[in-house]
Amino acid sequence: MSWGISKVGKPEALKRAIDAAVEGYSGLSKEEFAKAAPHLKGLLDLAVPGVVTLLNASGHGHMAAGEFVPDNLSVEIRPLGLLAE
Protein backbone atom coordinates (compact mmCIF):
# COMPACT_ATOMS: atom_id res chain seq x y z
CA MET A 1 0.00 0.00 0.00
CA SER A 2 1.26 3.42 -0.80
CA TRP A 3 0.11 7.00 -1.25
CA GLY A 4 1.67 10.28 -2.28
CA ILE A 5 0.92 13.91 -2.98
CA SER A 6 3.04 16.61 -4.59
CA LYS A 7 1.50 20.08 -4.92
CA VAL A 8 2.45 23.74 -4.89
CA GLY A 9 0.05 26.40 -3.63
CA LYS A 10 -1.01 28.49 -0.69
CA PRO A 11 -1.54 26.50 2.54
CA GLU A 12 -5.36 26.68 2.45
CA ALA A 13 -5.42 25.40 -1.14
CA LEU A 14 -3.00 22.60 -0.23
CA LYS A 15 -5.29 21.47 2.59
CA ARG A 16 -8.19 21.24 0.12
CA ALA A 17 -5.93 19.33 -2.28
CA ILE A 18 -5.13 16.82 0.47
CA ASP A 19 -8.84 16.16 1.03
CA ALA A 20 -9.40 15.70 -2.70
CA ALA A 21 -6.38 13.42 -3.03
CA VAL A 22 -7.61 11.11 -0.24
CA GLU A 23 -10.74 10.47 -2.29
CA GLY A 24 -8.59 9.37 -5.24
CA TYR A 25 -7.31 6.33 -3.37
CA SER A 26 -9.04 3.12 -2.40
CA GLY A 27 -8.58 0.26 0.01
CA LEU A 28 -5.69 0.29 2.45
CA SER A 29 -3.89 3.09 0.61
CA LYS A 30 -6.91 5.33 1.22
CA GLU A 31 -7.02 4.31 4.89
CA GLU A 32 -3.33 5.06 5.33
CA PHE A 33 -3.53 8.44 3.56
CA ALA A 34 -6.71 9.36 5.47
CA LYS A 35 -4.81 8.79 8.74
CA ALA A 36 -1.92 10.99 7.57
CA ALA A 37 -4.10 13.77 6.11
CA PRO A 38 -5.01 15.54 9.40
CA HIS A 39 -1.34 15.64 10.37
CA LEU A 40 -0.31 17.07 7.02
CA LYS A 41 -3.01 19.71 7.30
CA GLY A 42 -1.87 20.49 10.85
CA LEU A 43 1.67 21.06 9.63
CA LEU A 44 0.33 23.34 6.91
CA ASP A 45 -1.39 25.36 9.66
CA LEU A 46 2.14 26.29 10.76
CA ALA A 47 3.01 27.63 7.31
CA VAL A 48 2.88 31.36 6.63
CA PRO A 49 -0.61 32.24 5.32
CA GLY A 50 -0.63 33.47 1.74
CA VAL A 51 2.88 32.23 0.96
CA VAL A 52 3.17 29.74 -1.90
CA THR A 53 4.34 26.47 -0.38
CA LEU A 54 5.66 23.16 -1.71
CA LEU A 55 4.09 20.00 -0.31
CA ASN A 56 5.66 16.63 -1.05
CA ALA A 57 4.46 13.75 1.09
CA SER A 58 4.33 10.00 0.63
CA GLY A 59 4.05 6.84 2.64
CA HIS A 60 3.95 3.12 2.18
CA GLY A 61 3.69 0.00 4.24
CA HIS A 62 2.74 -3.66 4.15
CA MET A 63 0.49 -6.14 5.89
CA ALA A 64 2.03 -8.66 8.28
CA ALA A 65 -0.04 -11.11 10.32
CA GLY A 66 -3.18 -9.11 9.54
CA GLU A 67 -1.72 -5.83 10.80
CA PHE A 68 -0.57 -2.80 8.84
CA VAL A 69 3.15 -2.13 9.25
CA PRO A 70 4.39 1.28 8.06
CA ASP A 71 7.66 1.12 6.14
CA ASN A 72 8.30 4.72 5.18
CA LEU A 73 6.88 8.20 5.58
CA SER A 74 8.37 11.26 3.92
CA VAL A 75 7.10 14.83 4.28
CA GLU A 76 8.52 18.04 2.84
CA ILE A 77 6.78 21.37 3.38
CA ARG A 78 8.79 24.33 2.14
CA PRO A 79 7.76 27.97 1.67
CA LEU A 80 8.59 29.24 -1.81
CA GLY A 81 7.51 32.87 -1.56
CA LEU A 82 4.86 35.22 -2.82
CA LEU A 83 3.53 35.15 -6.36
CA ALA A 84 4.38 38.12 -8.52
CA GLU A 85 1.25 40.05 -9.42
Domain segments of the chain: what residues?
A: 2-81
pTM listed for this prediction: 0.86
For residue 3, report the phi and psi dihedrals to the nearest 5 degrees.
Answer: -150, 160
Contact predicate 56/76, CB 8 Å: yes
Amino acid at 17: A
Task: List the end-to-end C-alpha distance of the chain, in Å, as a whole number.
Answer: 41
Per-residue pLDDT of the chain (85 residues; tens, 9 = 90+): 799 999 999 999 999 999 999 999 998 889 889 989 999 999 999 988 889 999 999 998 888 888 877 788 899 999 998 877 7
Amino acid at 57: A
